[in-house]
Amino acid sequence: MKNKLKVLLATDYSEAVKTAEHYAVRLAQAAGASLTVVHSYDVPLLPDHPTPLYEEKLLLSDVYKDEETRMKDHINGILATNSIAPLQLEFNYKLLRGEFPECLNEEAKLMNADFLVIGTHGAKGFLGRLFGNHAWQIMKSSDVPVLVIPKDAIFVGLKKIVFATEYRSGEIPAIKYLAGLAEKFNAELTVLHVTYTFFPTKEETELAREFHRDILEATGSNKIKLITIKGENVTEGLESYCAEHNSDLLVLSHEKKDLFDKVLGLDAAAAKKITFHSKLPVLSIPDYYKTKKYSFWDLLNDVEQDIENI
């Protein structure tokens, strides 16, 4: 494969992120991708009194060695759990120092990653002390798609995909990207808008019509459903629809400037709550996203069975 896919997996070594690790391994294996596991570690506070520079270097070196040993042991555990021989998958690792959201996004840029996979602990915590409650900070600041895998997610295939829209032109490339995915998996793609009124306003109706025309022009597909529903809030509307229709993947797209902070559509609190409470995977795709490499989804002809077996 000329352009090998690069998947970046964030871990805090906890039991809660094992679902995300398992998913990332199977995905990378099926796509013939390289998988880099990333972990951020704490640097101990140095004493207030002056310390010779070489002593500081020795201290930091010892900390890194301990972290490296821990990471290698963890990777061996992942391989063993998934019954994968070391040479069956290109496995790399990177230990980072600093604030995790920033470190992760910077590392993604440096390695030219195609995809970030992260897991959640649920509403009470996200990737423990390393991630704090910054799940959505990673999503909204990333320049590449971020797949968030909840701890309690159950994988039963990929047949129903829901894209949350606020009728923005920047969403069209993401929908085109998803249309290719839906075709590969013979999945149903629904573009869903949540309104606060019982009946869409005249402006919303016209926006929907124009947006539908744009989708048809971009994808050439008339199989994509465009639906508007009433909801007390965006979170409730999206989660209720996905639960009622047994959706397999919820997709969000954000503007790089406003980052979900819209009066109509996905505000910050709503996107954050969806990420924490959703029991299905959430995929975040930046506005106007267009991969420079071979399409991620085009590499996944045989991944469906792997997902179903997770």
- Measured in whole angstroms, the distance separating CA 16 from the mean position of its chain's CA atoms is 16
Q: What angle in degrees, to the nearest 10, is found between the helix axes of 172-185 and 202-219?
A: 60
**pLDDT for 177:** 85
Sign of the alpha-carbon torsion through 107, 109, 111, 115: positive
- Mean of pLDDT values over 58-72: 79
End-to-end C-alpha distance for the chain, whole angstroms: 25
Query: In the CATH hierarchy, which top-level class contains the domain 6-308?
Result: alpha beta
**pLDDT for 310:** 46
Paired tokens of 197? 């009124």
- Mean of pLDDT values over 78-103: 83
The model's pLDDT over 129-140, given as tens digits with 9 standing for 90+, comes to 333 356 667 877
**pLDDT for 222:** 85
Q: How far apart (Å, rounded) are the C-alpha atoms in residues 269 and 271?
A: 6
Q: Which of 286, 274, 280 is nearest to 105 (CA)?
A: 286
With vertex at residue 84, the alpha carbon angle to CA 96 and CA 2, rounded to the nearest 5 degrees, is: 70
The residue extents of the domains of the chain are: 6-308
pLDDT band at 125 (very low <50, low <70, confident <90, very high): very low
The model's pLDDT over 173-230, given as tens digits with 9 standing for 90+, comes to 999 989 987 887 788 999 999 887 766 778 888 889 999 999 999 999 888 999 999 8
- List the single range of 28-32, 171-175, 273-277 with lowest mean pLDDT: 273-277
Above 80 in pLDDT, residue 294? Answer: no
- Mean of pLDDT values over 154-169: 84
pTM of the model: 0.76
